[in-house]
Amino acid sequence: MADPRFFPTSGAQRLQDLAAAAGASFTGDPERLFTGVAPLQSAGPEDVSFLDNRRYAGLLAGTRAGAVVLAPAFAAQVPEGAVALVTPQPYLGFARVARLLHPAPAPVPGVHPTAVVAADASIGVGTEIGPYAVIGSGARIGANCIIHAHATIGPAVEIGDDCRLHAQCSVSHAILGRGVVLHPGARIGQEGFGFAPTPEGGFETMPQLGRVLLGDFAEVGANSCIDRGSQGDTVIGPGTRLDNLVQIGHNVQTGRGCVVVGQAGISGSTTLEDHVTVAAQAGLTGHLRIGTQARIGAQAGVMNDVPAKTDVIGSPSMPVREFWRAMAKLKKLGAGREG
């Protein structure tokens, strides 16, 4: 069960309300109460658990969970005393149950006495400004936001309603939509990596005159960086998720619902269309276009455009089937066998 010191609960919830949140059907007492979520092997009678992977099906028979969110194929295997919450998308259903039982903390409206807020900054109704936060001149923060300790919001930055900016993150030259989350140490809007070499062997910084636009419900992981645009804007589309330690170069644009996993880097002026996935430690050179629903494998080095709905891996990257054929050939060569 989640440690209540860190993850307070909303209190006991009725089975019928949990089922509604999960989009699940069930048979049993709709008024039965549950207080938390837990894995199959440690859940108790007041906990909800889930099964979404066949490799863990063996744990189902021995679980003591009071209810289990699972697919129709496993419903008949739920032990006596447990309720099967049956849905075609168990993990999504379980996530919604967990959110109902352990909701995100609500803002505590007000400005901490140690915060520094410019006189002409606008703070929305119900917003919480934490200790030592800095809000620059002309900044506009929407309603019901939480600005955690030591966060820095630069002059003229605009932040929509219901945003969460965690400790030590910084935002400048940016406009954030509704429901944006910045995890600790995220850096938004800093100067991009742009410079011109001089005849003497030095470098002259190119002024970075664009902004960062973060779409509604985008999330940026801890210590990830999004450079502002050079002559245009860097755009992160609605619902896009960046993991920890991700680098987004100037003028990158992503579509809706993209996922970029930890330690990946996307060079300047590359475009990701809708629902692109970039796996961990992948690197994309600049000025590329990655098509809708393309998937970039872990540690891939992408140097050319990738068509829509194409999976690539390797460095230099290539379609997955070509990559594995090449690896098979290489193994044969290494073993002294050709053909």
Residue with tokens 């979404």: 52
Q: Which of 264, 271, 227, 273 is nearest to 246 (CA)?
A: 264
DSSP 69-125: EE-GGGGGGPPTTPEEEE-S-HHHHHHHHHHHHSPPPPP--EE-TT-EE-TT-EE-T
Q: Which residue out of 150, 250, 275, 287 is catalytically annotated?
A: 250
Side-chain-side CA neighbours of 277 within 13 Å: the count stands at: 11
Under DSSP, the state recorded for 191 is: P
Give the span between the Cα atoms of 180 and 242, in whole angstroms: 12
Q: Quote the CA–CA distance of 127 and 149 in Å, as a whole number.
A: 14
The SS3 assignment for 122 reads strand
Quote the CA–CA distance of 25 and 62 in Å, as a whole number.
22
In which element (H, E) is residue 325 found?
Answer: helix 320-334
**Catalytic status, residue 250:** yes
Tokens representing residue 311 in the block: 């999976």
Cα–Cα distance, 150 to 133 (Å, whole number): 4
Pairing of strands 164-165, 146-147: parallel
Cβ atoms within 10 A of the Cβ of 203, count? Answer: 11
Instruction: State which amino acid sits at residue 91.
Output: Y
Yes or no: say if 189 and 226 are a contact pair by the CB < 8 Å rule: yes
C-alpha to C-alpha distance for 284 and 258, rounded to whole angstroms = 15
Interstrand relation of 116-117 and 122-123 (parallel, antiparallel or unpaired): unpaired
- Is the N-terminal amide bond of 316 cis, ω within 30° of 0? yes
Q: Which residues form the catalytic set?
A: 250
